């Protein structure tokens, strides 16, 4: 995988509903100065309320956030696609998945859907840690 060395890579965080993990990852990445977006293969109608509450504790306002549909254009424009460990291969159309495999890393994170706030906080903190690791450069990406 070839990523830009002179600047931070453009990141795309993907999960099925784009209602939790990928939204948190996008927010932390943007705060760190990355150009980042997130999307889902089957977007929910709203962001998970427990995720919004957990992120509010870190001074993020998710009240206007809306889950987005993953597009081929999003994949093509990203330097790195990071899936959240939510079996997106089962819901991704084959051509999109083939594009993703060229620059795909899976973080294999637990889904916060239906989890109590203390568990969502743990997931949030792990996402923040992994985004912090991305600042170390492309070589750190496969180790997170």
Q: For 1-54, how does the pLDDT look when each residue is reduced to its tens digit (9 = 90+)? A: 444 455 788 999 999 999 999 999 999 999 999 999 999 989 999 999 999 999
Going from N- to C-terminal start, the domains of the chain cover: 14-141
Distances (CA, A) of 57 to 51, 53, 61, 92, 120: 10, 7, 9, 32, 12
Assign 143 a pLDDT band (cuts: 50, 70, 90).
very low
In terms of CATH, what superfamily is 14-141?
Answer: Response regulator (3.40.50.2300)
Whose tokens are 């995720």? That residue is 51
Please tell me the predicted confidence (pLDDT) of residue 23: 98
Whose tokens are 């495999």? That residue is 101
Backbone φ and ψ of 88, nearest 5°? -60, -20
Assign 105 a pLDDT band (cuts: 50, 70, 90).
confident
The pLDDT of residue 118 is above 70: yes
Check: pTM over 0.85? Answer yes or no: yes
């Amino acid at each position: 995988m070839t990523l830009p060395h002179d600047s931070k890579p453009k990141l795309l965080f993907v999960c099925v509903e784009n209602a939790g993990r990928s939204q948190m990852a996008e927010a932390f990445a943007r705060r760190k100065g990355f150009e980042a977006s997130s999307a889902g293969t089957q977007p929910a109608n709203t962001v998970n309320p427990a995720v919004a509450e957990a992120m509010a504790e870190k001074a993020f306002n998710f009240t206007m956030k809306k889950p987005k549909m993953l597009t081929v254009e999003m994949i093509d424009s990203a330097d790195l696609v990071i899936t959240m460990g939510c079996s997106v291969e089962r819901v991704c159309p084959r051509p999109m998945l083939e594009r993703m495999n060229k620059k795909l890393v899976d973080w294999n994170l637990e889904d916060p859907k239906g989890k109590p706030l203390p568990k969502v906080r743990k997931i949030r903190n792990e996402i923040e840690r992994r985004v912090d690791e991305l600042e170390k450069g492309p070589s750190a990406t496969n180790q997170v």
